[in-house]
A and B are shown apart, each in its own frame.
Chain A
Amino acid sequence: MQVYYFTEQPYYPAWNNHSGSLRVNLPNSVVDPKIAGDLFHRYYDEWKIADELGYNIMVNEHHQTATCMSSTVIVGLSVLARETKKARILVLGYPIGHRPDPLRCAEELATIDVISRGRLDMGFIKGVPYEFPASNQNPVAVMGRFWEAHDFILKAMTSHDAPFNWEGEFFHYRQVNVWPRPVQAPHPPVWTTTGNKAQARLLGEKGYVMATLGSGYATRPLYDSYRAGYLAKWKRPAPADRVAYLGLVAVAEDETEARRRGELVAGYLRSSAIVHVPFRNPPGFLTVDDNARMLRGQSAPRSFTKDGRAVNMHHGSVQDLIDAGILFCGTPDQVTQQILDFTEYCGGMGNLLMMGHAGFLSHEDTVSNLTMFSQEVMPRLKAYKQPVPEATAA
Chain B
Amino acid sequence: MLDAITSMVVNGVTIEAIDKGHDGGTGRPILFLHPGIGIDAAAPVLAALAKGGRVIAPSHPGFGTSQLPQGMTSIDDVSYFYLDLLDQLDLRDVLVVGVGLGGWIAAEIATKNSTRLSRLVMANAVGVKIGDRETRDIVDIWALMPEEFDQLAWFDPKAGARDYKNLPEAESLSAARNREATARLCWSPYMHNPKLKNRLHRIKAPTLFLWGMADRILSETYGRAYCGLIAGARFEPIEKAGHFPHLEQPEEFARKVLAFADAAAPAAPRIRRA
Residues of A in contact with B (beta carbons under 8 Å apart): 25, 133, 136-141, 276-279, 282-284, 288-289, 291-293, 295-297
Q: How many A-B residue pairs have CB under 8 A?
A: 65
| A291 engages B179 (CB within 8 Å) | yes
CA–CA, A289 and B169, complex, Å: 10
| B188 engages A295 (CB within 8 Å) | no
The verdict on B145 contacting chain A, using a C-beta distance below 8 Å, is yes
Flag B146-173 by CB within 8 Å of A: 1 or 0 each: 0000000000000000001111010011
Which residues of B have CB within 8 Å of A136? 187-188
Which residues of B have CB within 8 Å of A140? 180, 183-184, 187
Which residues of B have CB within 8 Å of A296? 164-167, 169, 172
| B184 engages A295 (CB within 8 Å) | no
Closest 4 CB pairs of A and B: A283-B183, A291-B176, A138-B187, A292-B172
User: Which secondary structure characterizes the binding site on chain A?
Assistant: loop
Q: Which among B144, B165, B166, B179 has the greatest number of chain A C-beta atoms within 10 A? A: B179
| B180 engages A291 (CB within 8 Å) | yes
CA–CA, A296 and B164, complex, Å: 6
Which residues of A have CB within 8 Å of B142? 133, 278, 282-283
- Partner of B169 from the list A25, A277, A283, A292 (CB cut-off 8 Å) is A292
| B164 engages A295 (CB within 8 Å) | yes
Interchain nearest-CB distance for B162 vs A (Å): 9
Which residues of A have CB within 8 Å of B179? 283, 291
Interchain nearest-CB distance for B234 vs A (Å): 34
Closest A residue to B146 by beta carbon equals A278
Known contacts A289-B173, A296-B169, A278 near B183 by CB under 8 Å: no
Interchain nearest-CB distance for A139 vs B (Å): 7
Interchain nearest-CB distance for B92 vs A (Å): 35
| B188 engages A138 (CB within 8 Å) | yes
Which residues of B have CB within 8 Å of A133? 142-143
| B184 engages A288 (CB within 8 Å) | no
Interchain nearest-CB distance for A141 vs B (Å): 7
| A292 engages B145 (CB within 8 Å) | no
| A292 engages B143 (CB within 8 Å) | no
CA–CA, A279 and B166, complex, Å: 24
Interchain nearest-CB distance for A244 vs B (Å): 31
Which residues of A have CB within 8 Å of B73? 141
Which residues of A have CB within 8 Å of B184? 138, 140-141, 284
Query: Would you give 8 A-B contacts (Cβ < 8 Å), ordered by A?
Result: A25-B143, A141-B73, A276-B143, A278-B142, A283-B180, A289-B176, A296-B166, A297-B165
Interchain nearest-CB distance for A168 vs B (Å): 13
The verdict on B182 contacting chain A, using a C-beta distance below 8 Å, is yes
Which residues of B have CB within 8 Å of A282? 142, 183
Interchain nearest-CB distance for A89 vs B (Å): 33
Which residues of B have CB within 8 Å of A292? 169, 172-173, 175-176
Interchain nearest-CB distance for B180 vs A (Å): 5
Which residues of A have CB within 8 Å of B145? 277-278
- Partner of A295 from the list B143, B144, B175, B180 (CB cut-off 8 Å) is B175
Interchain nearest-CB distance for A226 vs B (Å): 28
Which residues of A have CB within 8 Å of B187? 136, 138-140, 283
The verdict on B256 contacting chain A, using a C-beta distance below 8 Å, is no
Flag B168-203 by CB within 8 Å of A: 1 or 0 each: 010011011101101110011000000000000000
Q: Which among A133, A279, A282 has the greatest number of chain B C-beta atoms within 10 A? A: A282
| A295 engages B183 (CB within 8 Å) | no
- Partner of B176 from the list A25, A138, A295, A297 (CB cut-off 8 Å) is A295
| B177 engages A288 (CB within 8 Å) | yes
CA–CA, A283 and B182, complex, Å: 9
Interchain nearest-CB distance for A242 vs B (Å): 33
CA–CA, A139 and B179, complex, Å: 12
Q: Which among B172, B177, B184, B188 has the greatest number of chain A C-beta atoms within 10 A? A: B172
| B182 engages A295 (CB within 8 Å) | no
Q: Which among A25, A133, A139, A292 has the greatest number of chain B C-beta atoms within 10 A? A: A292
Interchain nearest-CB distance for A313 vs B (Å): 24
Which residues of A have CB within 8 Å of B165? 295-297
CA–CA, A139 and B184, complex, Å: 8
CA–CA, A279 and B73, complex, Å: 22
- Partner of A139 from the list B166, B172, B175, B183 (CB cut-off 8 Å) is B183
Which residues of A have CB within 8 Å of B176? 288-289, 291-292, 295
CA–CA, A386 and B67, complex, Å: 48
Which residues of A have CB within 8 Å of B182? 283
Q: Which among B143, B169, B177 has the greatest number of chain A C-beta atoms within 10 A? A: B143
Which residues of A have CB within 8 Å of B172? 292-293, 295-296
Closest A residue to B179 by beta carbon equals A283
Which residues of B have CB within 8 Å of A295? 164-165, 167, 172, 175-176
- Excluding A133-B143, A277-B145, A283-B180, 5 further A-B contacts by CB distance (< 8 Å) are A133-B142, A136-B188, A138-B188, A283-B179, A292-B176
Interchain nearest-CB distance for B139 vs A (Å): 12
Q: Which among A25, A136, A291 has the greatest number of chain B C-beta atoms within 10 A? A: A291
Closest B residue to A279 by beta carbon equals B143
| B164 engages A288 (CB within 8 Å) | no
Which residues of B have CB within 8 Å of A276? 143
